[in-house]
């Protein structure tokens, strides 16, 4: 193994980085508010100590590949450049892969929407020794367990599974399954914006103003404390149901479907039963039909066509060619109308009953961006998009909310 000497002045790091870099526990959970420097700190630690000093290879993960390319990959690249290490690294932008030439240690930047795809990863220079789950609150517990199974084999260093996240809900599995149950090897590290000496005065002021404008956001994003389950949620009022309840829905309930296209991210299909009420708005019963990445239009057609039986199928309007493919096989496919805030305002007034774990997970994490009227699009929202798109489009032109079907075009 080639040896090089790298010296970086301590002033380049926040005060907590040297101590955190010495952590060897199996699951270091780095939690805190916005602007705490959590992600930068973990990127520095993994690059400089695990890769450069020790020759460890690992996985840098986001839930979805699209987020990898715009967040964790450029973050690692910027740390390499800032510390003058670019000449030592082979960087493949297409594969989002780093290799440190002196010891052949590698970093694979990947989306984990389908953890099974991680089985094919084999490090050339050294066995995989660590994984980093950035925005860990976007992952499911089953994702984490599968990732743990992928990091295996003998290495001279202990395996580690780093997590960085905002503590958005005290009911999240990160807290209920790992922390509250005291899973062996889990250790929590908490930092806030006050620990980040590189944060601008403007950014500090924005966070501190949340104390007056949004106390619930201040608790999570400034103080780094666990949020109440409904704080900041876009759709806090919904009920989960079982398959037996779904089967009791009146037969005369109108049925529509919604499709949110994906490939690197999940394609999502939901079935909606619209139950009229004597007065006011209808009740909406939603059932998750499909939630999977890597699907072509033909794959979705095979699932949807036997179910729809003449019902309208509202689709993400961003891909008209795929909508046309559905029409060509006799599916009554229509593009949904798109107006994020208006559709949210309308759908929040509906009584929503949900069947499906991924649907529940999205509703539990779909939040407003602190202090704004914008939603956080970095949280999974594929099934929620079918709700906003399909249900709103189907009902919006009926001023009295009588369920007159829209004409098929």
Beta bridge partners of 109: 60
DSSP annotation of 112 reads -
Pairing of strands 105-111, 97-100: antiparallel
Nearest to 290 by CA among 388, 391, 359, 378: 359
Residue 293 has phi, psi (to 5 degrees) of -85, 165
79, burial (CB in 10 Å: exposed 0-12, middle 13-18, buried 19+): middle
Count Cβ atoms below 10 Å from residue 89 Cβ, excluding itself. 20
Q: Give the rounded percent of residues in the chain with a pLDDT score beyond 90.
A: 66
Q: Which of 394, 269, 268 has its CA nearest to residue 334?
A: 394
- The string of pLDDT tens digits covering residues 110-168 is 988 766 666 666 666 678 999 999 999 888 898 899 999 888 878 889 999 999 999 98
Residues 168, 32: Cα–Cα separation, whole Å: 10
How many other CB atoms sit within 10 Å of the CB of residue 38? 28
- 29: CB partners within 8 A, 6+ apart: 136, 163, 165, 174, 178, 179, 186, 187, 188, 189
- Closest among 43, 60, 69 to 265, alpha carbons compared: 69
Whether the predicted pLDDT of 26 surpasses 80: yes
Query: What number is the average pLDDT over the span 354-378?
Result: 85
Long-range own/partner contacts, residues 271-280 (CB < 8 A, 24 or more apart): 271/307, 272/387, 272/390, 272/391, 273/246, 273/249, 274/391, 274/394, 274/395, 274/403, 275/249, 275/250, 276/402, 276/403, 280/401
pLDDT digits (tens, 9 = 90+) for 214-252: 787 788 889 999 987 666 789 988 889 999 999 999 888
Return d(Cα 166, Cα 182) in angstroms, integer. 19
Residue-level pLDDT at 15: 96
Which one, of 188, 177, 211, lies nearest residue 25 by Cα?
A: 188
pLDDT of res. 118:
67
Interval 97-112: pLDDT, tens: 999 999 999 999 998 8
pLDDT score, position 178: 97
CA torsion through residues 184, 190, 196, 199, sign: positive
Is residue 191 within 8 A of residue 34, CB to CB? The reply is no
| Residue 189 confidence (pLDDT) | 98
pLDDT-derived band at 400, boundaries 50, 70, 90: very low
Give CA–CA dist 404/99, Å, rounded.
60
pLDDT of 371: 65
Residue with tokens 């929620």: 384
Pick the range with the lowest mean pLDDT from 175-189, 237-251, 386-400.
386-400
Task: Write out the two tokens for 333.
Answer: 């496919």
Q: Which residue has the tokens 């503590």?
A: 167
pLDDT at res. 150: 85
Q: Where are the domains positioned within the chain?
A: 10-222, 239-395
Q: With a cut of 90, say whether residue 408 has pLDDT above it.
A: no
Domain 239-395 is of which CATH architecture? 2-Layer Sandwich (3.30)
C-alpha span between 44 and 79 (Å, rounded): 7
Query: Between β-strands 312-315 and 332-335, what pairing exists: parallel, antiparallel or unpaired?
Result: parallel
104 SS3 class: coil
Matching CATH number, 10-222, of 1.10.3720.10, 3.40.50.300, 3.40.50.150, 3.40.50.1360: 3.40.50.300
> What's phi and psi for 302, nearest 5 deg?
-60, -30
């Amino acid at each position: 193994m080639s040896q090089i000497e790298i010296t970086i002045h301590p002033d380049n790091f926040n005060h907590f980085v040297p101590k955190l870099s010495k952590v060897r526990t199996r699951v270091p959970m780095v939690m805190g508010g916005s602007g705490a420097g959590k992600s930068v700190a973990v990127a520095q630690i993994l690059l400089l100590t695990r890769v450069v000093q020790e020759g460890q290879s690992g996985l840098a993960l986001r839930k979805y590949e699209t987020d990898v390319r715009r967040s964790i990959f450029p973050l690692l690249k910027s740390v390499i450049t800032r510390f003058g290490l670019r000449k030592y690294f082979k960087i493949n932008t297409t594969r989002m892969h780093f290799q440190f030439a002196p010891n052949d240690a590698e970093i694979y930047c990947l989306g984990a929407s389908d953890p099974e795809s991680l089985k094919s990863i084999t490090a050339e220079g050294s066995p995989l020794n660590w994984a980093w789950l950035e925005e860990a609150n976007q992952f499911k517990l089953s994702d984490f367990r599968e990732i743990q199974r992928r990091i295996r084999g003998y290495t001279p260093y202990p395996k580690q599974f780093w997590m960085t996240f905002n503590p958005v809900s005290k009911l999240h599995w990160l807290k209920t399954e790992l922390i509250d149950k005291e899973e062996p090897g889990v250790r929590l590290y908490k930092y806030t914006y006050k620990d980040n000496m590189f944060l601008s005065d403007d950014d500090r002021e924005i966070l501190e103003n949340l104390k007056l404008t949004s106390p619930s956001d201040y608790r999570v994003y400034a103080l780094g404390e666990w949020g109440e389950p409904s704080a900041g949620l876009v759709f806090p009022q919904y009920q989960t149901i079982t398959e037996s309840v779904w089967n009791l829905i009146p037969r005369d309930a109108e049925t529509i479907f919604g499709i949110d296209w994906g490939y690197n991210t999940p394609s999502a299909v939901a079935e909606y039963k619209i139950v009229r009420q004597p007065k006011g708005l209808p009740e909406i019963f939603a059932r998750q039909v499909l939630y999977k990445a890597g699907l072509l239009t033909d794959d979705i057609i095979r699932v949807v066509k036997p179910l729809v039986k003449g019902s309208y199928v509202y689709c993400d309007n961003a891909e008209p060619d795929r909508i046309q493919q559905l029409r060509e096989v006799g599916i009554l496919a229509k593009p949904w109308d798109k107006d994020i805030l208006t559709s949210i305002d309308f759908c929040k007034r509906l009584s929503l009953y949900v069947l499906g774990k991924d649907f529940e997970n999205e509703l539990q994490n779909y939040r407003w961006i602190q202090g704004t009227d914008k939603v956080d699009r970095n949280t999974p929202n594929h099934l929620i998009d079918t709700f906003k798109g399909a249900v709103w489009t189907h009902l919006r032109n009926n001023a009295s909310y009588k369920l007159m079907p829209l004409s098929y075009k």
